[in-house]
Structure 1
Amino acid sequence: MSQGNYPLRGVRILDMATVLAAPFAATLCGDMGAEVVKLELPVGGDPLRTLAPVHDGNALFWKTANRGKKGISLDVRKPEGRDLFLSLIKDFDVLVENFRTGTLDQWGLGLDVLHTHNPRLIVLRLTGFGQTGPYARRPGFARIFEAMSGFAHLTGEAGGPPQHMNYPLGDVIAGLFGAFSITTALAERNGLAREAQRGVEIDLAATEAMMRLLDPLAAEFKFSGEARERTGSRATYTAPSNVYRSRDGIWITLVGTSDPIFARVCSAMGRPELTTDPRFNSNAQRMQNLKELDAMIESWFLERDFDDLARQLEEQAVPFSRVYSAADVADDPHVLARKALMELVDPVLGAIPVPAPVPRFPGRHFEVPQVGPDTGQHNNEVYGRLGISDERLRALRELRVI
């Protein structure tokens, strides 16, 4: 679904990728106004349709992650499908794919072929490890990216095993970089006169996207000789910054990064003298005495219920938050006031809550998109724009081309 007054209006994206990372890139562009068409094999089979949550046979992950897209089916591996695909891409600005390196070339759809049929086509190739290098053809999944980037090495308790969160973070981070890559390439291309516009190939490695988040760690290792380790929720670059438990069992994140904020933490605790204690009067000193400082804060939290803690912290303007579940997010007054969740309308399930587009553009209307499409749901509409008759479409279905 194209958002008529959003920045990417008029941009057409063909998403032939599977699962999450690359399709999420296309979905984010759709949130910003692009028209996105989702291409699947005629038999479906995208693994995202089977990943939880699935409710009564309805693939919620698919419906939410591919929101706003039109759905077509096509087997580009068959000669008729390849020909139809090459006709299709003439009217698109961007192609999104995440097959193992070299796969499209094997199908006769290499970059040179694509640009012969559409010289302006931007091709996002989002793989685990990029188009070059010894790992280029390895399969990749979110947890592999998280592990190999060094990210998972940082998560978990001190002395314990590394941990992954219960969500494919590596995929959605790669998707964010994918959307950024697409818009960057569009800005470059569209800044030229149309006759001078040429498409480009984007080589995006999901593992490198995760690495890019960890800016100072390589430098830290070079100059200190130590690789940063797991420390649970306790930060080792600033203090205090940890997760604490209240007397009534609620987990709370507190951040006292700068000296002024630390002073406010001390005021909330009724311990203003800690600001002049030589063990804690600078971030460097607080880091050296981190366990001792954390023990004081932890004790203070455990002696009070959450409501009392929240009142005292709010009075001193200390940055903190209860650690929310999805249920807490949906009930938060700020989330409700900003309408940060919206509801997709599904013909079977009714309203499906999802995060609203980020960012927002004040003064512009955003139309709530449709849920992710069924396989081939918009075949007649999309292929009809190419002048393909209903009779020809029926023949292609019989051949299992679409």
Structure 2
Amino acid sequence: MNPTSSPAGALAGVRILDMATVLAAPMGATLCADHGADVVKLELPDGSDALRGLQPVKDGVPLWWKVANRGKRGITLDVRQARGREIFLSMLPQFDVLVENFRSGTLDRWGLDIATLHQANPRLVVVRLTGFGQTGPYKSRPGYARIFEAMSGFTNLTGEAGGPPLHSNFPVGDAVAGLFCAFSIASEMVRLRSDPQAMGVEVDLAATEALFRLLDCLPVEHEALGQVRRPEGNRASYTAPSNMYRSRDGQFFTLVASSNAIFTRLCEAIGEPAMASDPRFNTNPARVKHLQVLDDLLGAWFARHDYSVVSERLEQAGVPFSKAYTIEDIEQDPHFIARGAIVRLPDPDGGSLPAPCIVPRVVGREMKLPRTGPSVGEHNAEVYGAFGIGGEELERLRAQGVV
């Protein structure tokens, strides 16, 4: 197959109206924008989206907002007002997807229930991303990343054995839910494009379920073995060795030697080839059973050698390992540099801002880098002008607080 040379992404022509706030659902729309979708970001006129206030903020400029909402045009509209709702519904026929993340029932109270949305556009895909979904006893609860990380069982897998569960210093739950949001949009676009008669749908995406979906083995592990997986520090309770170790000069690094072949090479690398045939270590179940003894032996060897020696030995042996990277390490790593993992997004305020590259890459397709996220109402004149709302009316709407 010959790779395409077209710069257009797979989602070119897909039109998304993103009225969601903060991070999870907007991230889903952003991922679609990375791959060619035309995304319009709708905010309240006061620009009160909480993401504009989350660090990093420099000199009043919301940097996280800019990179998280890259590739979007921005408009303001208060759909709670009658005129705002009227404008909103008049725009829907021009969009394929609506993304929202308000608590269940909120849009209904504003006169924008699913029947009204589909009356305006029968083929509209409405992605509703909430913490707990549109049904069930928790449907009206507010959803934040740390809440559904904890409730999904995800957080309980992280932390030192016997200690409290630990959250990551990043809203992983939002990112995972955002991925499922983008997947939902792409899946429904395949369906709609393949059938001109297909109708729109309501996608009920619960962030808690998105995280739980990643934990495939927990239910069957509990039913079949009666086990409840607990935090084990940096160890993995299902394979060994797999841990974070420390070299003599203080460098932390992670190592995985799950298969017997890799474990054999690890034993040879540290000068202990007999360990590979030791009955305590010659299979993965045996290594898991004798995990403490195995880790003590490995940890002691690593603690006697500087990281330069450790990394050279492991590299030569073909053992998977990596030091725990900071962003500085990522910026300086030759592989990340060669791959262009960090790109610079055009930005009207700072010239450009660094951000992760477009993922995945499609061979032969060079996507244009998106610009950073819009300022509040930056594209009002452009977007509303296309709907016949001219400058004078726009000014009246602005004075009324509608836009």
Settle same-fold status: TM greater than 0.5.
yes
Equivalences for 1:1-400 in 2 at 5 Å? 5-192=8-195, 194=196, 196-400=197-401
Distance in 1, matches of 2:9 and 2:144, equals: 32
1:4: Cα distance to partner?
A: 5.2
Distance in 1, matches of 2:127 and 2:61, equals: 29
- Residue 401 of structure 1 is matched in structure 2 by 402
Distance in 1, matches of 2:186 and 2:351, equals: 33
Stretches of 4+ moved more than 4 A in 1? Answer: none
Distance in 2, matches of 1:362 and 1:33, equals: 16
- Residue 3 of structure 2 is matched in structure 1 by none
Of residues 198-207 and 385-394 in structure 1, the stretch that sits farther from structure 2 once superposed is 385-394
Distance in 1, matches of 2:282 and 2:234, equals: 22
Distance in 2, matches of 1:332 and 1:353, equals: 16
Q: Is contact 2:75-2:378 (8 Å) kept?
A: yes
Q: Which runs of 5+ in 2 are unaligned?
A: 1-5
Q: Is contact 2:7-2:365 (8 Å) kept?
A: no
- Any idea what SS the aligned residue of 1:372 has? coil
- Any idea what SS the aligned residue of 1:382 has? helix
Give, as a single letter, the amino acid of the residue that structure 2 aligns with 1:67. Answer: R
Give, as a single letter, the amino acid of the residue that structure 2 aligns with 1:359. Answer: P
Q: Which runs of 5+ in 1 are unaligned?
A: none
> CA-atom RMSD, angstroms?
0.9
- Any idea what SS the aligned residue of 1:38 has? strand
Aligned length: 398
Give, as a single letter, the amino acid of the residue that structure 2 aligns with 1:240. Answer: P
User: Which deviations, in whole Å up to 9, do the C-alpha atoms of 1:287-316 show, x marking residues without a partner?
Assistant: 111000001110111111111111110100
Of all paired residues, the percent bearing the same amino acid is: 57
Distance in 2, matches of 1:184 and 1:397, equals: 37
- Any idea what SS the aligned residue of 1:99 has? coil
Distance in 2, matches of 1:399 and 1:23, equals: 27
Q: Is contact 2:256-2:319 (8 Å) kept?
A: yes
TM-score (norm. length: structure 2): 0.97
Distance in 2, matches of 1:151 and 1:388, equals: 47
User: Which deviations, in whole Å up to 9, do the C-alpha atoms of 1:195-237 show, x marking residues without a partner?
Assistant: x121110000000001001000111111222200111001110
User: Which deviations, in whole Å up to 9, do the C-alpha atoms of 1:147-172 show, x marking residues without a partner?
Assistant: 00011111100010111010000111
- Any idea what SS the aligned residue of 1:87 has? helix
